[in-house]
Amino acid sequence: MLPVDLPGTVRDALLAPLVDHHCHGVRRDDLSRAQFELLIGEGGVPAPPGTTHFDTPSGAAVRRWCAPLLDLEPHAPPAVYLARRAELGAGEVNRRLLAGAGVVAFLVDSSDRQGPQDADVLSAAEMGRHGGAAADELVRIEQIERDVAETAQLGVDYLDALADELAARAARAVGLKTVIGSLMGLDLDPARPTRGAVIAAANRRLADPKELLTDPILLRYLLWSAVDVARERGLPVQFHSGFGADPAGLSAFVRELQPLGVPVILLHCHPYHRQAAYLAGAFPHVYVDVGLAPPYTAASARVVDELLELAPFHKQLFSSCCRGLAETGYLGALYYRHALAAALGSRLATGEWSTSDAARVAHMIGSGNARRIYRL
Amino acid sequence: MLPVDLPGTVRDALLAPLVDHHCHGVRRDDLSRAQFELLIGEGGVPAPPGTTHFDTPSGAAVRRWCAPLLDLEPHAPPAVYLARRAELGAGEVNRRLLAGAGVVAFLVDSSDRQGPQDADVLSAAEMGRHGGAAADELVRIEQIERDVAETAQLGVDYLDALADELAARAARAVGLKTVIGSLMGLDLDPARPTRGAVIAAANRRLADPKELLTDPILLRYLLWSAVDVARERGLPVQFHSGFGADPAGLSAFVRELQPLGVPVILLHCHPYHRQAAYLAGAFPHVYVDVGLAPPYTAASARVVDELLELAPFHKQLFSSCCRGLAETGYLGALYYRHALAAALGSRLATGEWSTSDAARVAHMIGSGNARRIYRL
Amino acid sequence: MLPVDLPGTVRDALLAPLVDHHCHGVRRDDLSRAQFELLIGEGGVPAPPGTTHFDTPSGAAVRRWCAPLLDLEPHAPPAVYLARRAELGAGEVNRRLLAGAGVVAFLVDSSDRQGPQDADVLSAAEMGRHGGAAADELVRIEQIERDVAETAQLGVDYLDALADELAARAARAVGLKTVIGSLMGLDLDPARPTRGAVIAAANRRLADPKELLTDPILLRYLLWSAVDVARERGLPVQFHSGFGADPAGLSAFVRELQPLGVPVILLHCHPYHRQAAYLAGAFPHVYVDVGLAPPYTAASARVVDELLELAPFHKQLFSSCCRGLAETGYLGALYYRHALAAALGSRLATGEWSTSDAARVAHMIGSGNARRIYRL
């Protein structure tokens, strides 16, 4: 299972069920090759003529590691893989791959289910059932704002409805999530916007409620509203970070949050994971995710190893960032375990760490830290 | 030849002739030690008193790998190396090293040949003859602008002449190249500048045509003019990136180019190659170069390995970025092959990839992708 | 001692006494567990409930490597380690660890000794005595400014006093140090501020002299004053860099300094060490530190290896960045030696370097470069 030879307690710790603290639902329907390729690729567009999204790190990983779960040889050609996937049917494939991930609890951002494709994506509860695991909800705050913007009439109503809806949704969730980083970057002015500025912005917003929200005043207002709810309910706030959203920009905001005691969880972070590790070391309420978005799982070995030499062990969390394809959930867990196995193996081989510390840290990152922070 | 033991097909794929899709001419004259050291060093200034540019990663690489091609032992002392180089003469040294690179086609940015040193640098055709390879031209657009600025009288003439000259030079080239990144960074406003603003800027420019062009309006206008020509002729545009020019800043511009179908090729990229890999994964028309500028070839193993875990395989290209010394062309090819050999070797050893995929990807990156993009 | 098998001359070069060109004093008093944990952690705040700063890369390193110097088994539990530390007493612990570092000269930034804890931190001379080494002073220029601001009455007096005090302190030091990077970042306007602007800013400053200096005009004025003194006395200027202070931003300033011949030494740099390596390669007067701040020593292997493939060998310097705990001085030296041993070992194993070059470079980075630059 694991690529290196390890003492029994460390191996057991690595193979113990994981808390996948950030994932999305996967498609329930049978997919054509074109649909499947779009979900492997990152840009949401087909590969250029003469090429295929299978010729990517994630495409190669699917053929290597997922093929055996569909009873195929490793490295099965794309056509063979997809034929077998169709033969088994999406339900069976999802069950095999999600259960194969060895996850005890999925924390699911279900906002992909909004809009026309609702029915095509598994709900949080269904993710749990397919994977033989518990499941809880994460609330993506920009999704709430979109729902509110589409129904509110006046700026004041909008603000009230936002507060109500955030509170109502948070009451059923284990954490909040923001994608402000991909909407305006993470170099945030830490001050709360004034009420006057917010109402003016809200009135502008309501003139065009279908647009993607990019107004920095409203985005920051939304974030602060989420922080207030998170503080009240003892919930952490997840921040999407990574390309275009360097978590280093979040320093001032994070410092502002420190007295409030709201945990800040930095998701993905690659290629800025070293900056995220710095924040996790410097601030007691900041955490860092060692899970990588599907296109980057092949980079896990390097990233997991670097975080282990840079960030406190009680600040690191596993996630698969599974999305669309159950393959990504399986690969996220598999590459995480392989990467941590290699990192611990080399520390044990040189005597840098003891066996009991290695096993203990594997438990912390795999599930213990998430149980503590999300109060599971 | 290669530092790791590999299956025959993979070894053959690695040793197959390369397309060096971005290089410069090398000096044809015999060089003094001071001249040679200036060309190893990066800043164009002599090493501080008591030190030598041979005590750098590139200096060590020359002594290790080029010495044997001049019939010397590996690690020959600098004085011995330079004495033997002088004895053989620049012509023979250039032939041995360029042919030793195992290149089937050089794509050459010859703009270094402008100015007082013209005669000292091999032309594209000469690079090909010395290296036993085909050779094609790349057009550096900022060089064209300089030529035009020195002869035009009025802003309007300047714009017409620029368009004419770009079209004429592109007709004889396989690609365009811009160094806008080192002149104003890559954080580009993606909008086309207005004609009024351009003419005003052009008139200012003509008051001082010998100056290095740094006006952002003209630089962006020049780039858009190049894009128009590239689109018309089906040519890719190479972007110099790297220190001071993070390709992440190019996102908005690249998005603007997507519907035009003009391939964008990110050169060097180090230390921002992870950001470049992201763009190559997210946009169908973006490519990333695994060749490093000469001072960084020693870093190839790490960079090639990281790109292989981050970027689509059909988006990666080899280049040597050879410049001034034929040693840099030889070392670029050698370090690329060693790095890819190590990266593929470790994937084969762990069963992560199949032998046939490894050989196929080596062919793609070494020459196949370049043949497709440059239509060679 | 060293984790890899190396030829005798290389081993000897690695184990030869080091010049630790940047460190701080350590605490002379016996420390409670809470005090000790605060000095392992980075943010100066206790670990969150249910966690400990021992569960960090530096905490693990203390237990692994320092425990044996206190006659304990490697990986001793925190409580056992701290009990033994208390039993031996801080003086004996400091002597064992500082002497264990194998340092021939400490260059000490003693500005931590200012303020209420003065007596608790060893002076430069005491660091030397405890470590069986020579010791010299580094002058942190922002500390001088604070002293001057607290006594001056008028802007003009302030400027005179600053000049006098810089000159007087520099006369007793081997180098100057600035933390401007952590006060306003390193993206510096390279121009000298005008005298009028400086006097106006100084008068504002004197209205609130206890505040941390963050005025960009005064900070840049202070830096230029330091450069003038450094130039007159032939001293280098150390720049704190790293998280929040990317040395890439320093390019324009560094270019301005080039004709003055004042050496610029970039400290820490992580995670921007590749950018620092670029500057060290491009500018004859720029140097780069391979020592990492204590929380990052576990990352040394990677950073030392990367710098060795990117920066000139005559531009790299060792430091421990020791602070507060003698453990950090010992670990800084140990991880540096292990990291360089591994990096040289792999270059020797592949034949990339010769034995004599490896030994020579180890001497250069360990002490030779520092002796040359600081004129020790």
Span B123-157, pLDDT tens digits: 999 999 999 999 999 999 999 999 999 888 887 88
SS3 A206: helix
Q: Which of A53, A47, A56, A49 is nearest to B234 (CA)?
A: A49
What counts of helices (H) and strands (E) characterise chain B?
Answer: 17, 8
Whether A363 and chain C come into contact, CB under 8 Å, resolves to no
Tell me the per-residue pLDDT of A48-64, one tens digit each, with 9 for 90 and over: 889 999 999 999 999 99
B interface test, pick of A58, A214, A243 with most B CB neighbours within 10 Å: A243
Q: Token digits for C207?
A: 């209205």
Q: How far apart are CA B187 and CA B245, in angstroms?
A: 8
In a domain, A1, yes or no: no
- AA letter at B2: L
Give the C-alpha separation, A11 to A14, whole Å.
Answer: 5
In terms of phi and psi (left: phi > 0; alpha: psi -120 to 50; beta: otherwise), the region of A316 is beta
pLDDT tens-digit map of A309-329: 999 999 999 999 999 999 999
Do A184 and A312 lie in a common domain?
yes
| Number of structural domains found in chain A | 2
pTM assigned to the model: 0.96
User: Could you identify the residue written with the tokens 């960079």?
Assistant: B303
Residue B14 CB neighbours (<10 A):
26
Tell me, yes or no, whether A93 lies in a domain: no
- Same domain for C77 and C154, yes or no, is no
C172 lies in the same domain as C44: no
Q: A87-97, pLDDT tens digit by residue?
A: 999 999 999 99
C48 touches chain A (CB under 8 A): yes
pLDDT higher than 70, residue B111: yes
Q: Select from B309, B317, B264, B324 the least CA-distant residue to B292.
A: B317
In chain C, % of residues over pLDDT 70:
98
Spatial distance between the Cα atoms of A373 and A361, rounded to a whole number of angstroms: 16
Question: Do the domain assignments include residue B94?
Answer: no
Indicate whether B42 and B112 sit together in one domain. Answer: no
Lowest mean pLDDT across A132-146, A152-166, B165-179, B231-245? A152-166
Number of neighbouring beta carbons within 10 Å of residue B363? 16
B42 and B147 fall within a common domain: no
A302-335 CB burial, b ≥16 within 10 A, e <16: bbbbbbbbbbbbbbbbbbbbbbbbbbbbbbbbbb
Kindly list the partner chains of chain A, i.e. chains with 3 or more CB atom pairs below 8 Å: B, C
CA–CA separation, B254 and B84 (whole Å): 48
Beta bridge partner(s), residue C287: C265
- CA–CA distance, A49 with B124 (Å, rounded to integer): 30
Show Cβ contacts of residue C153 under 8 Å, excluding neighbours closer than 6 positions: C206
In the Cβ-directed half-sphere of A7, how many Cα atoms lie within 13 Å?
16
CB B310 within 8 A of CB B344: no
Q: Model confidence over A37-50: pLDDT tens digits?
A: 999 988 788 998 89
Predicted ipTM > 0.90: yes
B56 touches chain C (CB under 8 A): yes
Q: Which of B51, B66, B88 is the last residue of a domain?
A: B88
Distances (CA, A) of B109 to B22, B136, C189: 7, 9, 34
Centroid of chain to Cα A360? 24
Separation CA A133–CA A124 (nearest Å):
10
CA–CA dist A111, A123 (Å, integer): 10
pLDDT digits (tens, 9 = 90+) for B78-98: 999 999 999 999 999 999 999
The whole-angstrom distance between B50's CA and the closest CA on chain C is 9
Query: What whole-number distance in Å separates Cα of residue C135 and Cα of residue A364?
Result: 43
Domain-located, residue A36: yes
**Which 3 state secondary structure label does DSSP give C208?**
coil
Q: Percent of chain A at pLDDT above 70? A: 98
Assess whether C181 and C220 both reside in one domain.
yes
Could you tell me how far CA B119 lies from the centroid of its own chain?
A: 21
Residue C131 CA to residue C66 CA, distance in Å, equals 15
CB contact under 8 A, C313 and B55: yes
Residue B131 included in any domain: yes
Q: What is the pLDDT of residues C249-271, one digit of tens each?
A: 999 999 999 999 999 999 999 99
Other CB atoms within 10 Å distance of the CB of residue C293: 21
Is residue B119 scored above 80 in pLDDT? no
With residue A94 as reference, give the H or E element that holds it. helix A90-100
Task: Count CB atoms within 10 A of the CB of residue B158.
Answer: 24
Asked if residue B179 is part of any domain, the answer here is yes
- Tell me: the pLDDT tens digits for A220-230? 999 999 999 99
**Does residue C189 have a pLDDT over 50?**
yes
pLDDT (0 to 100) of residue C112: 66
Final residue before a domain boundary, out of A54, A88, A122: A88
Q: What contacts A152, CB < 8 A, 6 or more positions away? A: A158, A161, A206, A209
Last residue of a domain, one of B66, B88, B110: B88
| pLDDT, mean of residues A61-77 | 98
Residue A33 scores a pLDDT above 80: yes
pLDDT, averaged across chain A: 94
Q: What is the pLDDT of residue C370?
A: 98
- Residue C113: predicted pLDDT: 58
**Confidence class for position C155, pLDDT limits 50, 70, 90:** confident
Test mutation, A246, A313, A316, chain C, max C CBs within 10 A: A313
Name which of C278, C308, C351 is nearest B74 (Cβ-Cβ). Answer: C351
**Which pLDDT tens digit goes with each residue over C27-50?**
999 999 999 999 998 878 899 889
Whether A301 and chain C come into contact, CB under 8 Å, resolves to no
Residues A366-376 have pLDDT tens digits of 999 999 999 99
> Given a contact as 3+ CB pairs under 8 Å, which chains touch C?
A, B
Residues B311 and B354 in one domain: yes
Residue B1 clears pLDDT 90, i.e. is over it: no
Please state, in angstroms and rounded to a whole number, the distance separating the CA atoms of residues A201 and C48.
38
Average pLDDT for residues C59-73, to the nearest whole number?
98
Residues A24 and A39 in one domain: no
Domain residues for C68? Answer: 31-88
For residue B276, the chain C residues in CB contact (below 8 A) are none
CA–CA gap between residue B141 and residue B111 (Å, rounded): 9
Across the beta sheet with A264-268, the strand order is A18-24, A103-109, A134-140, A175-178, A237-241, A264-268, A286-289, A316-317
Question: For position B154, what pLDDT does the model report?
Answer: 81
Among C188, C309, C204, smallest CA distance to C251 is for C188
Confidence of residue A113 (pLDDT cuts 50, 70, 90): low
**C65 and C75 share a domain?**
yes
Report if residue B93 sits inside a domain: no
Q: CATH number for the domain including A325?
A: 3.20.20.140
Tokens 């033989």 sit on residue: A132
* pLDDT in the model for residue C116: 45
Q: Is residue C120 one of the residues assigned to a domain?
A: yes
Q: Do B55 and C314 touch (CB under 8 A)?
A: yes
CB distance from A2 to chain B under 8 Å? no
Contact A357, A58 (CB under 8 A): no
Q: Are residues C233 and C194 in the same domain?
A: yes
Same domain, C254 and C342: yes
Same domain flag for B38 and B118: no
